[in-house]
Amino acid sequence: MGTVQYRFQTEESNPPLVMNCHTFVRWLLLQQGVNMPVGLATLLYYGTPVEFQERAPGDIIFTNGHWGNYSDAERAREGVGHVGILATEDSVLHACFKVGTVTEDPLQEFLAFRKLRGIYRIPST
């Protein structure tokens, strides 16, 4: 895939070389034939919520973010601002602004500086 550059304001046509967290998740799932909706907020409504202990590889994980949290009364009462995808039950792939690229972090490390806002299972194709 080459070196991926992180950019907050990213167009849906920029991946795979320029991404933010939600364009990365959308691009990754498109590679698997799953056509996700555009935008962080719409991703919340695409999947089915699952309990933390029921998580599985491929599930999308939402946390609070540093800036621009999206919130609504139904699925994001406390605000979401970051999204990744579980690579395993205990690791998360995500586009991270702090390192400026896509990275895989252990789940506990991923959640150490963020608050979990939900895990969603994507419908299979």
- Band the pLDDT of 87: cuts 50, 70, 90: very high
Of residues 101 and 72, the one with the higher pLDDT is 101
The neighbour count for residue 88, using CB atoms within 10 Å, is 14
Q: What is the pLDDT of residues 34-66, one digit of tens each?
A: 887 777 777 777 788 999 999 999 999 988 876
Task: List the structure tokens of 50.
Answer: 């699952």
Kindly state the percentage of the chain with pLDDT values over 90. 26
> 5-121 sits in which CATH class?
alpha beta
Given a cut of 50, whether residue 68 has pLDDT beyond it is yes
Tell me how far apart the alpha carbons of residues 77 and 81 are, in angstroms, rounded to a whole number.
Answer: 12
Lowest mean pLDDT among 5-14, 41-50, 94-103: 5-14
Nearest Cα to Cα of residue 61 among 18, 30, 106, 93 = 93
Q: What is the pLDDT of residue 15?
A: 52
The predicted structure's pLDDT at residue 1: 46
- Bond before 123 cis per omega within 30 degrees: no
Query: Predicted confidence band at 9 (pLDDT cuts at 50, 70, 90)?
Result: low
Strand partners, 83: 62
